[in-house]
Amino acid sequence: MNNYKMMITYDGTKYLGWQRLQKNKEKTIQGKIELTISKLLKENIEIIGSGRTDRGVHALNQVANFKTNKELDSNFLSQLNQYLPEDIRVLSFIKVNDKFHSRYNAKRKTYMYRIDNSPVRDPFMRKYAYYIDERIDIIKMKEASKIFIGEHDFITFSKKSTKKSTVRNIEFINIVKRGDFIEIYITANGFLYNMARMIAGALIQIATNKKNIKEIKDLLESKSRGEHRFVVPPHGLFLLNVEY
């Protein structure tokens, strides 16, 4: 049995997320790629992603692996991309050790959340940036980001999940302003369901003077899921990188 690692990029706009569904399998990224590879190889292929991305979330470098009885040559990549839809592309694939597992072996991931803070919304970025017409105080945002650095129980900043532990370690948060666009980069050893979007949402609340730093810090330390929800829309979120 051969084990292959793939690097994948996709526009998640019209998909129901990464994870395959029993119904509407073709409406998910994982399902669409599995069906395409299965047809090409004439085998029942299952692919394992480094993690799930929600409905509407994009990826620049998602990692996945799959096993097959066949030995694949360099032509497989072009064949695969020929049959995949235009909003999904496999960037590369390599044969890896049989024990490689794209999710369990991942050491850290980086997500990027993009905000359009221009006076008039950029129509070409409407699917790839969250538009906010209020003034964003980027200095406050950077200061508030320090709250989340390090190892914390992020249960307050996640939706219900099956994960046994809600403790994660955020190594760094970098906030970059590019013209009228603001990008929030978050690198951690793992992410809970909606964690990246909720942290981005909390930083936006502070940067637009709807919450203060102490309120957000108290929420993090409360370690409980309350009525507060800072989930920003999915279309501004990108899985940027997965490291092993």
Dist. CA 242–CA 244, nearest whole Å: 7
Whether 243 and 109 have beta carbons less than 8 Å apart is answered as yes
Dist. CA 27–CA 86, nearest whole Å: 14
Whether 5 and 65 have beta carbons less than 8 Å apart is answered as yes
The number of C-alpha atoms within 13 Å of 86 and in the hemisphere containing its C-beta is: 0
- DSSP letter at 123 equals G
Helix (H/G/I), strand (E/B), else coil: 55: coil
Whether 7 and 90 have beta carbons less than 8 Å apart is answered as yes
Catalytic residue among 11, 54, 116, 180: 54
Residue entry with tokens 């497989």 = 76
Residues 6+ apart with CB under 8 A from 79: 40
Q: Is 54 a catalytic residue?
A: yes
Known binding-site residue numbers: 111
For 5, the token pair is 């690692």
For 198, the token pair is 């909720």
Known binding-site residue numbers for substrate: 111
Amino acid residing at 143? E
Dist. CA 138–CA 203, nearest whole Å: 9
Residues 6+ apart with CB under 8 A from 165: none
Helix (H/G/I), strand (E/B), else coil: 49: strand
Q: What amino acid positions are annotated as catalytic residues?
A: 54
